Amino acid sequence: MKVSKHLLLKLALLFFLFPTFLAAQEEPSKLSGPVVKGIVEQFVSMHYSQKPLDDVMSSKIFELYLNRLDPAHYYFLEDDVAEFRKYESRVDDLLRRGNANLALDIFERFKTRLSERLAMMEEFMGEDFDFSVDANWTLERSDQPYPKTTADARKIWRTKIKFDLLTLKLGDTSLKEGKERLMKRVRGLWKDFSQYENDDVVSMFLNSMAAAYDPHSSYLAAQDLKNFDISIKLSLEGIGAVLRWDDGYTVVNSIVPGGAAARQGKLKTDDRIIAVAQGEKAFESVIDMRLNNVVQLIRGKRGTKVGLQILRKTKDGFDTLKIVIVRDKILLKDGEAQSNIFEQPPAGENKNKQEPLRIGVIKLPSFYVDFNDRRKNPKKYKSSSRDVKAHLEKFVDENVDGVILDLRNNGGGGLDEAINMAGLFIGLNPVVIVRQSGGRRVTVHRSRERAVYTGPLVIMLNRYSASASEILAGAMHDFQRALLVGDTTTFGKGTVQNIFQLPEGYGALKVTIAQFYRVSGWSTQNRGVETSIVLPSLNNAREIGESTLDNALPWRSIDQVSYRPKGNFKTVLPVLKKLSLKRVTDSEYFQQIDEDVQEFLTSIKPLKYTSILKMQEDDSRRKAQRDLELSNASKKETGDDSAEEVENTEEKKEIQADDYINESMAILADYINLQQKTE
């Protein structure tokens, strides 16, 4: 996330501090010693914590790297880890010298063990498994010891396969198909890792170093940087197809509506791409090529041509076709802000006296912005705050009675976007405080937007609302501008990352460079933003959030800034909570959620291992219960047009009111009613 214009100076300095010989090279070389050394030096100097790269950090990096390869302790043997652990306290010295040989050696050993486990699976799949014989399987294996010998590894893998097969079997998958799926999964894993180049391994090593400092910093290889750029600006230049890797083939998973491939009309879902050609050049086979590499071949500048040779399944087998598509700019519409206006019955004494309330709902998946377009044309560019502003202006024109901003599962995005969006509701006011590393500089960021909507407002949140979502929600809470509804708290990510681009072809560093605080002085780090009205949710029982992540930075608070609240919910909150609790208690949907929470707390969360026979018994009980629920639900059906409605919903791509949105609208109706009473 971009913090201030002063950071552009840091970005420029980075190019000078990086090894100078890189600038003179036309084609980037591998991540060699001097390059790694430069990346490490820059990362450590820029990180917010200002922690030294020492022996303590060295041990963390060592463990993180091992866990990136073998998180469940399936593959390595105890002797493998003991052999490499001799270098555990020297990782810091190796990184400072740009020496990644330890990472490469560990990776080669991992590939050897992976190959051995694949051979084991091939052997086990010929066996008959007796599911009437009980066995225990540890679900969480990250704290389990590595197998001592190959014989121990065989025991672990045989039980693992039996458990996985049973899981598939309980999901109505035949034993034969289950075995094929498991083999395909491990073969795919082997094929993926076998195609790793040294750069990929060194990148993983550098990311282990970044994760030792905090969970949100990372090294972005060149392709990762492209993907990050696409996700933040919601656009790319290419053909507009979502691809997947399947047993050596690049397969078309879906076609992006409105994209180049969709307009051309010849490429279809499930087509297998077997070769790619650039313009008029010869086709290059992409069978068994890594998905990222295939994607790089297909993406390209707008207006250029790409040829695809595909295999398409037909009744008689497979047809081979050649398609030429002109690349274009693809807008990822699914990630944009969407809105809809719903009718909600008025609350309280107004139930029978007024027309239904009109509630505008905006669903915002992320705080996106096209930085390149913003630099080129500051008055016209794609961004979440501009899109939300347009939705709000439409709501005002249509005289809505209240607005709901749905930030559930919104993981954040641009810091400036959160600040601008806050202004749409509170005007020219302070929104967030940003503290640089070591407390050297504390900056109060104010909105430059004038308020567009000043009426009743609810913000919906859950445990996956993070970062920029928490900035906006925290500001709305401190200004008493919005009622916060949803899970108990948000995610708790209160840090700011900036992207420092390395020379062309070398990717970038995503580094935590600051921590943000609400205008009240409270940090959202680890603790998140508490909601005003809590709704039942399984998320409230699960361990989700920043506080559960390794090496997360601690919570802190600072002095608040001067600000004037826009409202006061203290007098109405007790009434709103009481009315909401009554509805939630009577709701069949939320009753089921409460039952799921209780089952999780009493049966699933305390479970450290699963008995295979117990698993079968529990599954039979759950299936019987679900069948009964479905049977009861079918008796309540009043028509046969539900399938048609779902189809139309998919076509319209509009926001649909789920039970949480419905309850949020009821809360907003209660608030509007209470407001009218006091006026």
The token pair that represents 483 in the structure block:
């009622």
For 355-368, give the secondary structure using H, E and C: CCEEEEEEECCCEC
- Within 10 angstroms of residue 418's Cβ, the number of other Cβ atoms is 28
Is 493 among the catalytic positions?
A: yes
Q: Which two three-digit tokens encode residue 569?
A: 């919910």
Q: Which of 493, 566, 580, 670 is catalytic?
A: 493
* DSSP state, residue 527: T
SS3 per residue for 287-326: CCCCHHHHHHHHCCCCCCEEEEEEEEEECCEEEEEEEEEE
CA distance 478 to 516: 15
d(CA 369, CA 417): 7
CA 126/CA 124 separation, integer angstroms: 5
Q: Where are the beta strands (DSSP E) in 437-582?
A: 442-446, 457-461, 483-486, 495-501, 508-518, 533-534
Longest dimension (CA), the chain: 79
Say whether 181 sits in a helix, a strand or coil.
helix
Give the H/E segment covering residue 129: none
> In this structure, are residues 665 and 350 in contact, taking their beta carbons and an 8 Å threshold?
no
Rounded Cα gap, residues 139 and 483, in angstroms:
39
Instruction: Check 478, 487, 523, 670 and give the catalytic one.
Output: 478
> Beta partners for 534?
486
Pair of tokens at residue 118? 């694949």
Cα separation, 604 vs 543, in Å, equals: 13
Would you mind telling me the total number of residues written for the chain in this entry? 679
Share of the chain residues as helix, strand and coil, in percent rounded to the nearest 5: 45, 20, 35
Q: Which residues contact 496 (CB under 8 A, 6 or more apart)?
A: 1, 3, 415, 434, 512, 513, 514, 515, 516
> Are 367 and 352 in contact, with CB atoms under 8 Å apart?
no
Nearest-5° Cα angle at 660, 659 to 662:
65
Q: Which one from 467, 523, 532, 580 is the annotated catalytic residue?
A: 467
Identify how many contiguous H helices and E strands the chain contains and give both numbers: 21, 21
208 classed as catalytic: no
Reference 339, options 394, 411, 397, 280; nearest CA is 394
Q: What angle do CA 580, 583, 584 make, to 5 degrees?
A: 85
Contacts of 13 (CB under 8 A, 6+ apart): none
Q: At what angle do helices 101-124 and 78-85 cross, to 10 degrees?
A: 180
Q: Whole-angstrom Cα distance, residue 368 to residue 510?
A: 17
Q: Are 338 and 365 in contact (CB under 8 A)?
A: no
Angle (CA) 524 385 398, round 5°: 115
**Token pair for 535:** 């709704």
79 catalytic residue (yes or no): no
Residues with active-site annotation: 467, 478, 493
